[in-house]
Chains A and B, each alone.
Chain A
Amino acid sequence: MKKIEALVRTHKLDDVKEALGHVGIHGMTVSECRGFGRTHGKLEVYRGSAYTVEFVPKLKIEVVVPDGMVHQVMTAIVEAARSGQIGDGKIFVTEVLEAVRIRTGERGDDAL
């Protein structure tokens, strides 16, 4: 099992959700978060003073999938979330040791 963590633009949520649906992913966790990467936020002006929004709002989408699905899930997210402009986000993949569906006690891939 692998956990795929995608940090995407907030308005891309619907597109990513739909794309994941097409490859058979029907469950995910989404949280609002903030961060910055190489571009270091955006310069804005408030009452004449320039300031930088260092931490830009993003959404974090997390899905845990069987090993065999990792590639197609990542491809689906990239295609749905990309605009080609700076700030499209990143995807991280990590190993997941165990999963349990609390209601039934199922474990491993069966719990996904």
Chain B
Amino acid sequence: MADPSTADLAKQLADTQTSMNLMWTLLGGFLVMFMQAGFAFVETGLVRKKNVAHTMGMNVFVYAIGILGFWACGFALQMGGVGALSTFGGDATLSRELIVHIGGKEFGLFGMKGFFLPAALFTAPVAATFLFQMVFMDTAATIPTGAMSERWKFLSFVLFSVFVSTLIYPIYANWTWGGGWLSMLGKNYGLGHGHVDFAGSSVVHMTGGVMGFVGARTLGPRIGKYGKDGTVHPIPGHNIPMVVMGTIILAFGWFGFNAGSTLAGTDPRIAVIATNTMLASASGAALAYLTSTLKFGKPDLTMICNGLLAGLVAITAPCAFVSPGAAVAIGAIAGALVVLATVFIERVLKVDDPVGASAVHGVCGAWGIVALGLFANGTYGDGLNGVAGNVRGLFYGDNKQLIAELIGIGANILWVAPMTVLTLAIVGKLVGNRSRAEDEMAGLDVPDLGTPGYADDVPVSVAEEEKPAPKAVGAAEMAS
């Protein structure tokens, strides 16, 4: 038997590496998918028991709607023009981006290949990309269900989520991850590596947070949240153990979210990313503990949970580019910020966000993007977005990277906020967004879904026409 040639060995090695990268990316995607359970638990724990089925229902159904919307349209708009998938063997199936030329520069607006995942395009690299990007989109789509909970008509939620998965999320994701104009700011204008967001502080979390904030504001506060004179009435969540369990599930899934975003198990950076992720979650919880103790007199457990999540949201963008000390600092600032922002949104802006999603995902997502522009230390990211050299933030000598990050934040708000207003206006015209007052007061479980989340063993009777005939008890039976 002839010895394999060097070329054969090189090909086998490359194929093995591609397989490892596919495995790693899929594993990350599976972990992120499980974050849906974390969101379901956190959100449902923070609402009242009369809205349990409704909130859980939104969290499971957004997953299904999201997959179909992303399959039909969202994936093509987001990734249709991304070009060669370098960690998956350079598969170049997704090759068509709508580009406009302004002043001799290219501005990618959205992809145009992959609608309904045609069989001809369905290579293993494309399939893995679809699955991975889909669960990230789902994370963004499920964030508003918390901010808008306890008063959002189920049908309106369904229609809104179709728009999120087909249009609102994919466009911004294309600009940052799909080869669009935000990612080209470095190549076109010398702004660092363009808008860099490693795993989605802006693409996923800000998008979700901005939709949640605008949505909560559009729906208006829950009945009884604010007194006639504007006093704030607390509405405590009904199940703190659920909130804690959900938080831990989310923190677990986040390892897939951040470390998976290398799209490469062969990239040793995954260890750095996972550890930075862990560190930021800890300092986020610690500072939320301190801030809530100083502000309220006692540590607030729901704030500790939100602080842990805020640290995770903030480290999501910079996780691959920063030192461990910076990760701790980024999480810590997020932990303090989330407490202050939650109180500010509730008491000053008077926007009723029952779970604090606007603060956790919106505010701390934006902070994570800024943090990348400050703390990126020049040890990773060579060649990212077509720019040579590693990614450096302001503290490591590149102030232009920070400018690109700020443009990314501005673009997110300017795209997502008006689109949310417009979508809710359209959906509101069609079916109405806000639940009827009497349904809201009774709890949305039964009016919207026909069954309470926690059914009591209360006597019920079937409707007259379906009632079985009463069984006659014969004398013989009684005697025996």
Contact = CB atoms under 8 A, between A and B. Distances in A.
B460 A43 contact: no
B466 A53 contact: no
A9 B460 CA distance: 20
Contacts of B451: 44, 46-47
Interface in B219-261: 223-224
Interface in A81-112: 85
Nearest to A42: B446
Contacts of A52: 460-463
Interface residues of A, number: 18
A14 interface: yes
A28 interface: no
Interface in B396-421: none
Interface string A32-61: 001000000001111101111111000000
B458 interface: yes
Interface in A1-52: 9-11, 14, 34, 43-47, 49-52
Contacts of B463: 43, 50-52
A46 B450 CA distance: 6
Contact of B460 (A11, A53, A85): A53
B103 interface: no
Contacts of B224: 11, 14
Contacts of B340: none
Nearest to B462: A51
A54 B459 contact: yes
A47 B438 CA distance: 23
A44 B53 CA distance: 15
B313 to A, nearest CB: 34
A48 to B, nearest CB: 9
Contacts of A46: 450-451
B441 interface: yes
Contact of B450 (A34, A44, A85): A44
Interface string B291-335: 000000000000000000000000000000000000000000000
Contacts of A44: 446, 450-451
Contacts of B438: 85
A54 B460 contact: yes
A54 B441 contact: no
A55 B458 contact: yes
A54 B464 CA distance: 13
B238 to A, nearest CB: 14
Nearest to A43: B463
A53 B450 contact: no
Nearest to B223: A11
B406 to A, nearest CB: 45
B458 A53 contact: yes
A9 B441 CA distance: 9
22 contacts: A11-B442, A14-B224, A34-B458, A43-B463, A46-B450, A46-B451, A47-B450, A47-B451, A49-B462, A49-B466, A50-B462, A51-B460, A51-B461, A51-B462, A52-B460, A52-B462, A52-B463, A54-B459, A54-B461, A55-B458, A55-B459, A85-B438
Interface of A: 9-11, 14, 34, 43-47, 49-55, 85
Given A11-B442, A47-B451, A52-B460, 11 more contacts: A9-B441, A14-B224, A43-B463, A49-B466, A50-B462, A50-B463, A50-B466, A53-B458, A54-B459, A54-B461, A55-B459
